[in-house]
Structure 1
Amino acid sequence: MSHVEPLSIEETDAAKADIEQLASATGFVANSMLLLARRPEIARAVLGLIRAVVRNPDGTVDPALRWMVAHVTSRANGCTYCSAHTFKNGADNGVPDEKLAAIWEFETSPVFTDAERAALRIAVTGGQCPSYATPEDMAELRRHFSEEQIIEIGSVIALFGFNNRWNALMATDLEPEVTDFLAGKSLSGEQNN
């Protein structure tokens, strides 16, 4: 149970339009946003970052890879809430089931490209605080991605650093739509909790 009671969507006046816009993309109202709506200026700012970083149709990194980076970052940080959301969002945004099933075998699984491996490695190493991404990790990332794309990948990792800490701290409850989705998946390496 969440440490702070989330507002209902009807109570989110100042952030309602932004929260509903995210809900139209995901198919449900996120409890994390209903918590943040107690401070609507923060909710709107976070939702603005979400739109700019992972839901940007003009992004230069493939949306499926953005969601895989978000998922690996969240799992590496131990955030159950964000791990579940990014897993579902990955599936909803083009990540094939075989990649979702093998996500923690990205270093060795043939379903991942070298570019994906470089990005997912940075999601693990760069997503920790402090970061333990090595110069070699960054050099490998530069072999596959432009500087603009590296900024985008780094922004996904940083955004989920905030989201992971926020939702773990608040003990945000998963929504039924997400738990129902996870219940329908029995993929190796994923916990259905």
Structure 2
Amino acid sequence: MARLPYLERDDLPEPERDIFDTLLEQRGAIGNIFRVVAHSPLLLRRMLYFSDGLRNRTTLDPRYRELAILTVGRLTQCDYEYVHHQALAKRVGVRPEQVERLAEWETDPAFNDRERAVIRYATEVTQQVRVSDATFQALGDFLDNEQIVELSLNTGFYNMVVRFLLPMQVELEPDARD
């Protein structure tokens, strides 16, 4: 059970209820993460604005973004993040066998060198925060500076997200695995 209550629309102050209306309109549902972050409506607004920019307003190949996010979720054992991003990853072109075999990314032929470089980067950021020169330089072989920044911000943002989800014990919605 989550450590803070999952808020409903009517629990929010009147001027803040539009946040849930927008989420419902854009996503079709209000995820438990948003119901908990809504205890701070201002930060929920800022979080949604930033995450929209990361997801919809970058030049980074969305497959790389989702491989990085799945890596963060897997390494931190955050089912909430991992499950939510499995379907999104598949929608943007990550192959089902890649999602299923992400733990074997270093040797599995389902992954090419570029995908391995992205996963290695997300792995080092998640586990060590710092990345090796070799890992960073490998990104420069196929990403420009803007895309490296976008990958870094996505990886860092989702590391922040899991570090919110896990201590708050935010639960996966019952229909999330469908």
TM norm structure 1:
0.83
Runs ≥4 in structure 1, deviation > 6 angstroms?
Answer: none
- Counterparts of 1:106 and 1:16 in 2: how far apart (Å)? 42
Counterpart check, 1:92 vs 2:68? no
- Counterparts of 2:136 and 2:73 in 1: how far apart (Å)? 20
Alignment of 1:60-139 (within 5 A): 60-128=59-127, 130-139=128-137
Find the residue that maps to 1:168 and give its secondary structure: helix
| TM-fit CA distance, 1:49 | 1.4
How many equivalent residue pairs?
177
- Counterparts of 2:36 and 2:148 in 1: how far apart (Å)? 31
| Structure 1 alignment gaps of length 5 or more | 182-193
Aligned residue number for residue 39 of structure 1: 40
Find the residue that maps to 1:176 and give its secondary structure: coil
What is the CA deviation profile of residues 117-142 of structure 1, one whole-angstrom value per residue up to 9, with x for unaligned ones?
Answer: 101111111123x4142111111111
Question: Letter of the aligned partner of 2:6 in structure 1?
Answer: P
| Distance change in 2, residues 1:106/1:24 (3 Å) | farther
| TM-fit CA distance, 1:143 | 1.2
Aligned residue number for residue 185 of structure 1: none
Indicate conservation of the 8 Å contact 1:74/1:83, yes or no.
yes
What is the CA deviation profile of residues 85-132 of structure 1, one whole-angstrom value per residue up to 9, with x for unaligned ones?
Answer: 22232123332212212222222222222111101111111123x414
| TM-fit CA distance, 1:19 | 4.1
| TM-fit CA distance, 1:37 | 0.7
TM norm structure 2:
0.89
| Structure 2 alignment gaps of length 5 or more | none
- Counterparts of 2:144 and 2:158 in 1: how far apart (Å)? 21
Alignment of 1:153-164 (within 5 A): 153-164=151-162
What is the CA deviation profile of residues 8-32 of structure 1, one whole-angstrom value per residue up to 9, with x for unaligned ones?
Answer: 1343455544444444554431101
RMSD across aligned positions (CA): 1.9
Indicate conservation of the 8 Å contact 1:126/1:132, yes or no.
yes
